[in-house]
Structure 1
Amino acid sequence: MTHRQTLEALSGLLLVLFAAMLSATVVSTALPQIIGALHGGQSQFTWVVTATLLSSTATTPIWSKLADLYSKKTLLQASIVIFMIGSLVSGFAQDAGQLIAARAFQGLGLGGVQSLVQVVIAAMISPRERGRYFGYLGGVMALATVGGPLLGGLIVDVSWLGWRWCFFIGVPVAAVAFLLLQKTLKLPVLRRDNVKIDYLGATLIAAGVCVLLIWVTFVGESFAWASWQTAAMAGSGVLVLALAVWVESRAAEPVVPLDIVRRRNTALSIVASLAVGMAMFGGAVFLGQYFQIGRGYSPTEAGLLTIPMMVGVLVSSTISGRLTTKTGQVKPYILTGTIVLAVGFAVLGTVDHQTSLYLIGAAMLLVGAGVGMSMQNLVLVVQNSVPLSELGAASGAVTFFRSLGGTIGVSVLGAVLAARVSDLITRQLAAAGVQGGGDAAGSLDLAALPEPVREIVRAAYGDATGHIFMIAAGIAVVGIVAALFLKPVSLRDSLDLPAQETPVEVPAAAGKS
């Protein structure tokens, strides 16, 4: 493809990525209102997010593996169609259960969009030049993440629209992207006979993760940590995942190729991606809830208050992308990004329901900067380490584990938040001598609560949220350790590895090139 053709195709890729990111962020500030309208509680709040992440995580390696075997363009367009159908069904949901199921279906297409956009870009642009374009990806992510909460807040605050348009809004954007890609994207199709996709391995991975996440959601509330239910659910989840590893090691076409995962830089990038995903998704998804429930701001105001984090993503991803292309080095930006991310969450870990908004804004700026410097560069490290024929599987592996980290982060931190909020509300109600507030801990419909109970619930959410941000900071430290042990590599200028050649490793002291 010529440079002009690449830019034309990139417009469609960035547009569909924008629609996919928008589907997640537009809900973030509106979700307290949505769950309140559907009479759901904190568990449903968490699972509306987790369901999408889980299904997209489970299908990411399948989409990516198929991209090594079939038409990348056709697969991407198929994922867009699934995403649009899921969005429409989500908008028509009548209760929290239906919404969770529809979001899970939407996640099937979302997993394809997220992984295939990066695979297609990697098939068009060399790793050295890719840093600049990944800066554009970071910009689109920032725009969607800034615009999403604002748009979601406006939608639920405007009476003639209503919360259902939070799900409908991405459909026309995705449709335009579909038509753009049909016209502009032209890639050679790799066809192979007797292809076997490891659906069993993918199913086992999804089942094992799902069982563990369900256990995390209910442990400590519906049953004790030391109980037969814990032994049964946690034990069976670990057993299924161990079986999945065994199946993957023997599959002719594994969805997560273990020989790629075992390589040092790939393994460390995956560990760092897990940490970044857990910290980013697990922490950021509760910011909108903190501002609305814990501080009493409207959805639109909550969206405006998250702008510092998105500015951090936009600026840092653009600058680090250009510097990566200029120097050919990527490790310094990943290491710096994970450190900044951990510091930002550590500062957020000190917040309560009365913390200065200036301090919170500065901390969110650091979190955004850390995400912008580390997330796409971790994908770039992996893509630089494999030949073109393994590009889809390798990209899918790192995207899979990042999404898995996000899924685990949202579920675990959501369960911790729910337990801490319930404990704080119970103690504060007893201390205040308030009667008739027993159901307050499980309700996000604050308007239906008596005034004294409402203020206690607000304070509990505001005080408990800092606790999960501190946990996110601890998770981000794992990313720092993984980044430290990455071997410095020089990004190659060619699309494919030269025959019988491995990525060029440079001494740690070689910081200039």
Structure 2
Amino acid sequence: MQLKSSEETASKAELIWAITGILVVFFAAMLSMNIVITALPVIVSELGGTQIQYAWVLTGLLLANASSTLVWGKLADMYSKKVLFQAANIIFFTSSLAAGLAPNMEFLIGARVVQGIGMGGLISLAMAIMGSIVSPRERGKYAGYIGAVLAASTAAGPLIGGVTVDTLGWRWCFWVGIPLCLAALVVVHTKLKVPRYGTPGKIDVFGVILLVTGCSALLIWLSFAGTPEFFEWISLPSALLIGGALAVIAVFVIVERRIANPIVRLGMLRDRTTILAAISSAAIAPALFSCLLFLAQYFQIGRGFTPTEAGLMLLPVVGGNMLGALITGRLITRYGKWKIYIVTGAIVMSTAMFGLGFVLGADTPIWLIIGALIVVGLGFGAQMQNLMLVVQNTVPVTRVGQASSLIAFCRILGGAAGTAILGSVMAVAVGTSAVAPTNGTNPVYAEATGTLFLIAACITSVAVFTNIAIKEVPLRTTV
């Protein structure tokens, strides 16, 4: 198959419009995930939720996101990426509307699960479309744009969420992204042109069910094990969950190796670059997904800040993320080298997180927290999109959807696992299942957050070793 360059598949104006439409809906999706970070303490308190449910508002979304990402990626290699992108957009804004109408925590978590399915499509398809219309060498620049949009939505989300809770009420946090989704539907429909390389085929539904079941069992175990109101780490329920999860995953591997059209081509994991990048993507995820969620509790419940003030305090980490993504993306496009950035990013990010873990408490100077969070963001931004770029460079364009979704799956599953683990640790540390009210100061939450950062730093430090082990390969100049 002769592949075309991006200039041959679309004019410059069409490419700019296409990228703009993708970035708009990508921003709306990521905004909706991050906007609840500062609103969540108020939401859970008002709906009478528990500390475990607090974590599962994000964990449920990330689990559905991760599980559906592989399906969307597989579909992207067989059908129209444009049509799939639009379908994911519709699922996303419909579930966003439902989440804002939630009468209780169970309904809210369910709506967030459906929202995660739509989000999984938007994220993986955005990467797959980018990989189909832009060459890897030029993709560094556009990957930087995606990283910047991610950082901007992460920055704007907590702040907008805080202001919305303090003014309109928390339900509006789920509705503010709907106009952006509708606008993106129009832009993408009229402007996006994506070359189609794959051929239609059957979807491995059984494989999807096995994967979701196995991952869900593991996350449930990570969430509830060790908490007094549920069960101990070493207990019959723990054994059943772990044993069941491992058995289901083993069956999943057997099924995927034998069928003709698997949801995951396990052969991709035999590639050294892909497996190492997948591990790194999972390891760094808690630095952004999980830590921001519990920093919102730290500032509101542990330090007595308002939701708006808490949103402002999260800007340093996402500002650093934006700078890291933009600068490294530009440098990669200009010079073609990428390994130095992902290795350096992993080292500085983990170092800053360990530092925060040791000093974070009820009386930690704010300037110290801000400085450390900027460094964490810089390190994360230097890695996230660049790890995706590295993997896309190793596969032909006909499999870029699966490769993109595999890395996105590992990243999001790592975030879900990190959130589940840290949520369980927080529940044990604060010694109660109910979330404390937000109209006071509870130093227990402040001290517990330091412990969470130490645990998260240990997880993210894995990326230092895996990034060093990745072999640098020159980036292609064609799609």
The answer to whether TM tops 0.5 is yes
Give the 5 Å matches for 1:335-354: 335-350=343-358, 351-354=360-363
- Structure 2 contact 133–195 (Cα < 8 Å) conserved: no
Q: List structure 1 runs of 4+ shifted beyond 6 angstroms.
A: none
From 218, 230, 234, the equivalent of 1:226 is 234
Q: Aligned with 1:197: secondary structure? A: coil
Out of 321, 334, 338, the position equivalent to 1:326 is 334
Secondary structure of 2:470's counterpart equals coil
The amino acid of 1:169's aligned partner reads: V
TM-score (norm 2): 0.96
Which residue is 1:174 aligned to? 181
Say if 1:358 and 1:200 are closer, same or farther in 2 by CA, change over 3 A. same
Equivalent residues of 1:196, 1:252 under 8 A apart:
no
For the residue of structure 2 that corresponds to 1:321, the secondary structure is helix
Indicate whether 1:43 and 2:52 are aligned: yes
Instruction: In structure 1, list runs of 5 or more residues that go unmatched.
Output: 423-439, 448-453, 496-513
- For the 8 Å contact 1:261–1:397, the answer to whether it is kept is no
SS in structure 2 of the partner of residue 30 of structure 1: helix
1:176 maps to amino acid: A
Instruction: Give the one of 208, 211, 216 matched to 1:205.
Output: 211
Paired position in structure 2 for 1:450: none
Show the counterpart of 1:239.
247
What is the aligned partner in structure 2 of residue 165 from structure 1? 172
Aligned equivalent of 1:355: 364
1:28–1:285 Cα contact (<8 Å) kept: yes
> What is the match of residue 153 of structure 1?
162
Question: Which secondary structure state, in structure 1, belongs to the residue aligned with residue 382 of structure 2?
Answer: helix
CA deviation map 1:15-58 (0-9, x unaligned):
00100110011100010011111111211100100110000110
Say if 2:259 is the partner of 1:259: no
Distance 2:433 2:106 in 1: 19
Q: Report the alpha carbon displacement of residue 219 of structure 1 after superposing the two structures with TM.
A: 1.3
Mapped to 2, the partners of 1:328 and 1:3 lie a distance apart of: 22
**CA 300–309 in structure 1, closer or farther in 2 if over 3 Å, else same:** same
Give the corresponding residue for 1:140.
149
Q: How far apart, CA to CA, are the structure 1 residues paired with 2:470 and 2:81?
A: 30
Tell me the residue number matched to 1:437.
none
Tell me, in whole angstroms, the C-alpha distance in 2 between the residues paired with 1:319 and 1:16: 23
Determine the C-alpha separation between the residues in 2 that align with 1:32 and 1:332.
39
Corresponding position of 2:382: 373
Whole-angstrom distance in 1 between the partners of 2:244 and 2:162: 41
The separation in 1 between residues aligned to 2:208 and 2:380, in whole angstroms, is 28
Q: Distance in 1 between matches of 2:263 and 2:413?
A: 15
1:486 aligns with 2:470: yes
1:108-147 map, 5 Å? 108-147=117-156
1: distance between equivalents of 2:195 and 2:98?
34
In 2, Cα distance between the equivalents of 1:384 and 1:156? Answer: 43
Aligned length: 467
Question: Is the contact between residue 35 and residue 444 of structure 1 (CA under 8 Å) also seen in structure 2?
Answer: no
**Alignment match of 1:442 (pick from 423, 434, 443):** 434
> Superposition pairs for residues 452-491 of structure 1, below 5 Å?
455=441, 458-491=442-475
**Post-superposition CA distance 1:427-477 (Å, at most 9, x none):** xxxxxxxxxxxxx65233244xxxxxx65xx11100001101111111111
Q: Does 1:284 align with 2:284?
A: no
Contact 2:136 2:389 (8 Å CA) reproduced? yes
Alignment-derived partner of residue 89 in structure 2 = 80
Q: Which residue of 2 aligns with 1:403?
A: 412
Deviations 1:136-176 (A, max 9, x none): 11111111111111100000001xx2110000111111111
Question: Offset of 1:420 from its aligned partner?
Answer: 1.3
**CA deviation vs aligned residue, 1:280-335 (integer Å, no higher than 9, x gap):** 32222211111111111000000111111111011111110000001111111111
User: Which secondary structure state, in structure 1, belongs to the residue aligned with residue 461 of structure 2?
Assistant: helix
Aligned AA (1:462): A
| Structure showing greater Rg | 1
| Contact 2:349 2:377 (8 Å CA) reproduced | yes
Query: What value does the CA root-mean-square deviation take over the aligned residues?
Result: 1.2
- Structure 2 distance, partners of 1:239, 1:412, is 22
| Identical amino acids, percent of aligned pairs | 43
| 1:16-31 to 2 correspondences below 5 Å | 16-31=25-40
What secondary structure does 1:214 align onto? helix
Contact residue 77 and residue 199 of structure 2 kept, 8 A: no
Residues of 2 paired with 1:258 and 1:420: CA distance?
39
1:156-201, CA deviations, whole angstroms, 9 ceiling, x for partnerless residues? 001xx211000011111111111100011012334625x1211211
CA–CA distance in structure 2, aligned partners of residues 86 and 421 of structure 1: 32
Distance 1:6 1:300, change over 3 A: same
Q: Are the aligned partners of 1:349 and 1:468 in contact in 2 as well (CA < 8 Å)?
A: yes
| Structure 1 residue matching 2:21: 3-state secondary structure | helix
SS at 1:491's partner residue?
coil
1:213 deviates by 1.2
Q: Kindly state the Cα deviation for residue 234 of structure 1 after the two structures are TM-superposed.
A: 1.2
Q: Report the AA paired with residue 339 of structure 2.
A: K
Task: Name which of structure 1's ranges 332-341 and 79-88 shifts more when overlaid on structure 2.
Answer: 332-341
Write the distance in 1 (CA, Å) between the matches of 2:241 and 2:194: 45
Q: What corresponds to 1:315 in structure 2?
A: 323
Normalising by structure 1, we get a TM-score of 0.89
